Structure 1
Amino acid sequence: MTTAGIPATAAQVVVPGITMNQLFVAIIRILSLGALAAVVAGLVAVLYRWYTREGVPDGVAILIGIGAVALVLNTEETLASTTAVDTAAAATTISSIVAAGIGADLGRRGGDTFAANAFAVTGTAKLDREVSQLVRAVGRAVTVTLPEEVDDIDGYDPVDPETKEALAETTFVFPRRITVVELRDRVVARLKDDYGVGHVDLDIAEDGTVSYLAVGSRAAGIGPTLAPGTVAIAITADPAHAASPGDVVQVWERTEDGLQRRATGELRATSGDVVTLAVDETDAESLSDTTEYRLVTLPAEPSADREFASLLRVADETMGAVAIDEGSALAGLTVGALDVTVAAVRAPDGAVTATPARHTELPAGTTVYVIARPDALRTFEAAATAAAEEPAAEAQAETLS
């Protein structure tokens, strides 16, 4: 059989304008580009699985695989720099893109399966360290269920039983890819915002399991900031216009014999002509709620102890005194080795050092006055009283140092 006088050969085309040799080369090219897309997508799947411990999204892997093929095709077209429209080349390009998409999906599946199996069998210490700070959970969200028993925090006013009953076995749902610290902060924020809890002591594991929960109410009013031996009293008075809470004032009463000083106290609040003062218990007995007094502001600064009490009252931290027992894991450590704020230390001989230096040693028998969150204070107390040979005490000491 001949065509236009030219004898037919094995290289004759099945499609007009394309010979068998050209078709064979095009198929090899398409398969090669598809294999390139599969390799690229497979590498992306492996790296994504290694970094996140999750499967790479389908669209991302396929897009990157096709992008690699498109880059090769664009580079070749640029080097050829031809302006003629070649039907065969266009068909090859389209087929290559389709093959790249298929190959990228296959590569993604294979790479993800390989990475999942490899990391599950071998694992790496570095990877474990990197993901140890992330909450280990299964599913699209992290579910946190509070324990059935909710304790009270020592040193804080207890939360009413109804609130603790509502908290028991409550479940919160949070998004994945969250660290343990972030998860703890979110749980604490939910408890404070939704249930009106003032302070939270919470132990939460890497998988979101809550092993310990204690709550306390935030102290309200003036009472918690009053020094021993003082009381708060409301009187009718005419304070100076520049007087403000914290100022030291004298209370004067106009009598037939002239002005008489009745007491000296600290201004706490004003509302019109009603003034709340913090005064000594003995001075409070000489003040009457039917007498109008006059206040004189003294040029004195508020005492540091009361300023500290007012700041500590609204903070999340609390203050505690912890004695270091003989044989404790903390005995012999220095102040700088602790992860709590040390306000003062009382040595075994009774000497008190305020804001001690970081190199100050803490022998057995020392009392440490620390400022920390309730959970950190509880851990510190456990380490100070446990025996050094117990594994729990050693683990707590490591977390503190």
Structure 2
Amino acid sequence: MTATLLLEAFGAAEPLQSAGSASIKWTRTALLSILGYGLLAGAGALAVAFGYRALTVRKLPAGPAVLVGLALPTGWLTIGAVRQGTVVAESPLLHYTSSVFLLGVVAAGTLAAAGGHRLGDHLACGVFDVRPLERSGPVADLVRSAGLAVAVTLPDTIDDADGYPTVDAARKRELAGRRFLFPSDLSVSELQARLEARIESDFDVGYVCAELDEDGSAVGVAVGDRQVGVSPTLGPDQVAVAIAADPPSRASTGDPVEIWTTGDGQNGFVATGTLRASAGSATTLLVDADDATAFEAGRRYRLTTRPETPSDGHALVSAIRAADETVTVRTVDEGGPLENEFAGWVPGRVLAIERGDEIISLPADREPLEAGNMVYAFGTPVELEAPSSVLEESVNSDIAPEAVSETAE
């Protein structure tokens, strides 16, 4: 009886030892896999943080770095689960061991990705000699207290620059209340120029106008986008038309051309226009609005240069688009600050005055403005938005001392 019990005990011990060795083997395999996937996540976050700092000279937030790092092991496990039906050591997908393994991969990957993010940013700062300055904290307070840096905080409301396309609301919300650090030895004008250049480069804004107090604090900021495309170069009653035609070899952008039909042994004159751009067999022309319907779809045309001297209007329009200045229209109100003033005293440069049916181009400085006139002025938004007090100051500064004395008498 005793011998029978011992034999049964030894027989039962072998399966138990076999189950224990399988459990130990699975645990070892799972731990090694978790470690490997964690290192993969850390390497991915390190590469992303390093590249972002190298390209933008700014620190990548930890959230995107961790997500990119976790995407590598989770993507690898997903592919393995679809192909093989398991994630680790032949464990079924619908089993608690697979769940424990996946939780371990996510936890280890998150920790490794956070560490890889910091290490990658640190390596990029060392390789590219980037010295980040803390925006807040004891170090930043110490730097500001020592007079080494000055902080400029933008207003809570960002305005739209007059005469420029509107910047989307998301970028204006991102700019509102943001603080920038600059060297303390800058004058107010230099600080304003640095602030405007910083906003343009960091936030991809076409135009920035910042107004600073004497102590360097930002009172107002107006932003605008650059005008792109063909529409800013269109004159009154003009349209842009794309046709199939090869431009003449001597024609360039802005040259006047004639459009002729080809084929059927006959050539017919269609219209005149201005060459805007060409790409292959497609050519864009600026023509009068009445001539836009003269073109037929699917037909090929021939262009010839016109026997006249090309005008410099296109070069002028290109220069205006590239500059910070813009053109705005003002109406001279009766009893307003512009009534009975000279054109030369208006802030900016007066290009034309529309007086009823008469248009005065490039008026003389002594041309008086009358109520109801439409004044086309060229200048920066700061000049064109000058209030009446600024206008009076500019007028008084332009009056000769002899005129003042005669008026006083």
> In the aligned structure 2, how far is the partner of 1:226 from the partner of 1:350?
22
Equivalent runs, 1:29-68 vs 2, <5 Å: none
Instruction: Give the equivalent residue in structure 2 for 1:157.
Output: 165
Q: Which amino acid aligns with 1:318?
A: T
% identical aligned pairs: 39
Q: Distance in 2 between matches of 1:223 and 1:346?
A: 23
CA contact (8 A) 2:339 2:371 kept: yes
> Residue in 1 aligned with 2:225?
217
Counterpart code for 2:161: I
Q: 1:200, 1:374 within 8 Å by CA — same for their partners in 2? A: no
How big is each residue's C-alpha offset from its partner over 1:101-149, in whole Å with a ceiling of 9 and x where there is no partner? xxxxxxxxxxxxxxxxxxxxxxxxxxxxxxxxxxxx9932232111111
1:317 aligns with 2:325: yes
In structure 2, how many angstroms separate the alpha carbons of the residues matched to 1:257 and 1:213?
63
Match of 1:397 among 387, 392, 401: 392
Query: Which secondary structure state, in structure 1, belongs to the residue aligned with residue 262 of structure 2?
Result: strand
| Partner Cα distance (2:195, 2:208) in 1 | 9
Q: CA deviation at 1:225?
A: 0.8
Aligned residue among 257, 277, 280 for 1:269 = 277
What letter matches 1:353 in structure 2?
I
Equivalent in 338, 355, 362 of residue 355 of structure 1: 362
- Which of 220, 235, 244 in structure 2 is aligned with 1:227? 235
Structure 1 unmatched runs, 5+: 1-136, 384-392
Q: For residues 148 and 360 of structure 1, what CA distance do their matches in structure 2 show?
A: 42
Higher-Rg structure is 1
Q: Cα offset for 1:217?
A: 0.8
- What are the within-5 Å matches in structure 2 for residues 199-210 of structure 1? 199-210=207-218
Q: 1:290 to 1:368 in 2, by over 3 A?
A: closer
1:172 is aligned to 2:180:
yes
Residue of structure 1 equivalent to 2:302: 294
Structure-2 residue corresponding to 1:146: 154
Distance (whole Å) between structure 1 residues aligned to residue 329 and residue 313 of structure 2: 17
Per the alignment, do residues 138 and 326 of structure 1 end up closer, same or farther by CA in structure 2, a change over 3 Å counting? farther
CA deviations on 1:322-375 (whole Å, 9 max, x unpaired) are 23444444555444445522223456x775433333344446555433211112
SS where residue 301 of structure 2 aligns?
A: strand
CA, structure 1 residues 267+184, in 2 after alignment: closer, same or farther (shift >3 Å)?
Answer: same
* Displacement after TM superposition at 1:396 (Å): 5.5
Change (3 A) 1:261 1:366: closer
Cα separation, partners in 2 of 1:360 and 1:279, compared to 1, 3 Å: closer
Give the deviation of 1:315 after TM superposition. Answer: 1.4
Equivalent residue number for residue 375 of structure 2: 368
Aligned: 1:341 with 2:349? yes
TM-score computed with the length of structure 2 as normaliser:
0.55
Gaps of 5+ in 2: 1-144, 398-409
Give the deviation of 1:164 after TM superposition: 1.3
Classify 1:213/1:291 alpha carbon distance in 2 versus 1 (closer, same or farther; 3 Å). Answer: same
Q: Report the count of equivalent residues.
A: 252
Q: CA deviation at 1:267?
A: 0.7
> Is it true that 1:251 corresponds to 2:259 in the alignment?
yes
RMSD: 2.8
Q: TM-score, normalised by structure 1?
A: 0.56
- Does residue 183 of the first structure (1) align with residue 191 of the second (2)? yes
**Richer in helix (by share):** 2
Aligned AA (1:242) = R
